[in-house]
Amino acid sequence: MAIPKPRVTPPLGVGGKGNLRLQSAEFLSSRELEVLALIVDGLSNQAIADKLVISIDTVKTHIRHIMEKMSVSDRTQAAIKAIRNNLVE
């Protein structure tokens, strides 16, 4: 009996041409949205950690997850995509 190959699908909420299919950020956790908003505001990792009272390593983990989920390679791209898709206020 052959083992079925797993289906590979794009990350939830990510569509073509660099735009997010979802207008809301359902695929990002509430904490990831908080971190993303602070990235958009221009805060450093240390400033985000201080503001949210979390470790800098936790901030880096949130940012890594945000970038993976948004299919971007750096925090600037994440900020631009967030603004263009109204993910932050």
Q: Does the residue 50 lie in any domain?
A: yes
- CATH number at 67 reads 1.10.10.10
Domain count across the chain = 1
| Residue 65 exposure: Cα atoms within 13 Å on the Cβ side | 16
**Whole domain around residue 60: which residue ranges?**
25-84
Residues contacting 23, CB < 8 A, separation 6+: 85, 86
SS3 of residue 85 by DSSP = coil
pLDDT of residue 31: 96
pLDDT of residue 89: 80
Nearest to 36 by CA among 15, 22, 85, 55: 85
The DSSP secondary-structure symbol of 30 reads H
Angle subtended by helix axes 56-70 and 30-40, to nearest 10: 90
| Per-residue pLDDT of the chain in tens (89 residues, 90 and over written 9) | 555 444 433 444 444 444 444 444 469 999 999 999 999 999 999 999 999 999 999 999 999 999 999 999 999 999 999 999 999 88
pTM assigned to the model: 0.72
